Amino acid sequence: MASTSLVRTTARRGVVAWISITLVAAALAVIPAASVSAAVDACDTVSLTSPSALTVHVTITGCGDPGDAAFTVSADLTQDGTSDSIKAWGSASAVTTWVDEDLTVPARGAYTLTVSPFGSSGGADQVAQVVVSGGSVVTVSMPATHFRIGRMKGGAYPATVSWTNSSANAASSYEVQRSLDGAGYLPFAIKGGGTFSTTATLAPGHTYRFRVRGIASIPGPWREGPSQRPVGYSEASAKIAYGRTWSLGSRSEYWGGHTRFARASGATATLGFTGREAAIVVAVGPTRGSFDVIVDGVYRKTIKTYRTTAAFKQVLYVVQWPADGPHTVRIKVKGTAGHPRVDLDGFMALEPAPAT
């Protein structure tokens, strides 16, 4: 039984092309990925379809600017999760129909076509995906990375990577990979089919990106999260504005060996930053009191730092936004009777990754 669907791709010079694709419904699931174009330096159509089991059809057309003698194109069809290249192509000139052929693939699973056009004014990769399936395929949501409540490990921040199963099929397991500072993905964790998160630590000065896929009868397609950069603002940071009297404390257990503390009701410490997430790091113990959290001028919560046993570098509050933007996070000392002291170790933020 065959079905026909239309896949929308981004064409060069801003033209949108619709491609009619005939699918054999019993043998495959097609998951198109958005093409990326860079002005003239792209291909009009980059697509994969599966005309029959264990066969994929590769189409790459309309590449390049006929007037650009320096235009080159390379392409590679790979099986996801392996280092296997099914076939690679290369061209040193602008062409109209460059690749249009059927290829036999070694097994059911997910395959990715990566096309890299490059002309005198640059270029950007274009990507298409197809899953060749005779069994169930699990698709997942884009993974999200967030700070979590817990204790810092050395100078690294506690975090959680989470996702959801966005298909009707059950997964036997989920595979998580991590890219550090823009390098290639490496295995990070394997979780059971009923688990939808994994813990991580994020070190300042690095950029992180995670991807996840579900495993059923075959591996599903990878879903990538955004690149994120954790930034730490210790108590001495010029980004933190203090109101009223704060004193400096020193002890090796504090984050960076120092803390700022206040006892007076109404003392404030405010971080202004641009990002999508922030966390507050404090010390707790039998002499510590409470503070209010005020986010973008609005009261959110009162945090108690009283504990029977002292502990340091504790992440006690996390706030998130759906997208990067300018925000302020403020703590305001309550002046708790009998144990008013509040120790601020600093703030953490997830900020936009630097452009590469």
Burial letters 138-148, b for 16+ CB under 10 A, else e: bbbeebbbbbe
Report the DSSP beta bridge partners of residue 16: 10
Per-residue confidence (pLDDT) for residue 10, from 0 to 100: 35
Task: Please tell me the least confidently modeled range out of 21-35, 189-203, 283-297.
Answer: 21-35
Torsion on CA atoms 216, 221, 227, 230, rounded to nearest 10:
0
Torsion on CA atoms 122, 30, 111, 136, rounded to nearest 10:
150
Q: Which range scores top for mean pLDDT: 50-54, 127-131, 227-231?
A: 227-231
* pLDDT at residue 326 tops 70: yes
Is the separation of the CB atoms in 173 and 192 below 8 Å?
yes
* Residue carrying structure tokens 């298409």: 128
- What does residue 205 show for φ and ψ, rounded to 5 degrees? 90, 5
Strands of 126-132's sheet in order across: 28-29, 126-132, 109-118, 72-79, 85-91
Tell me the pLDDT tens digit for each residue of 14-72. 322 322 222 232 333 343 333 333 345 678 888 888 876 778 889 988 887 667 777 88
Contacts of 169 (CB under 8 A, 6+ apart): 136, 137, 138, 214, 216
Of the pLDDT bands very low, low, confident and very high (cuts 50, 70, 90), residue 94 is low
Q: Residues of the chain with pLDDT > 70: what percent?
A: 86
Nearest-angstrom CA–CA distance, 333 and 338 = 14
Burial class (CB in 10 A: 0-12, 13-18, 19+), 295: middle
Tell me the pLDDT tens digit for each residue of 296-323. 999 999 999 999 999 999 999 999 998 8
- Higher-pLDDT residue of 91 and 213 is 213
Q: CA angle at residue 109 from 9 to 179, to 5 degrees?
A: 75
- Nearest-CA neighbor of 225 among 333, 83, 350? 350
Neighbour tally for 90: CB within 10 Å: 10
Nearest-angstrom CA–CA distance, 33 and 240 = 42
Phi/psi region, residue 64 (left: phi>0; alpha: psi -120 to 50; beta: rest), is left
Q: Which amino acid is at 54?
A: L
Per-residue confidence (pLDDT) for residue 154, from 0 to 100: 81
Domains of the chain: 2-132 (2.60.40), 144-226 (2.60.40.10), 231-352 (2.60.120.260)
Round the CA-based radius of gyration of the chain to a whole number and report it: 26
Task: Please tell me the least confidently modeled range out of 52-61, 144-153, 154-163, 317-326.
Answer: 52-61
Q: Which amino acid is at 183?
A: A
Nearest-angstrom CA–CA distance, 111 and 106 = 11
**What's the average model confidence in pLDDT over 253-280?**
95
Of the pLDDT bands very low, low, confident and very high (cuts 50, 70, 90), residue 137 is confident
- Nearest-CA neighbor of 43 among 97, 102, 122? 97
Q: CA angle at residue 205 from 201 to 209, to 5 degrees?
A: 55
The mean predicted confidence, pLDDT, of the chain is: 84
Per-residue confidence (pLDDT) for residue 323, from 0 to 100: 86
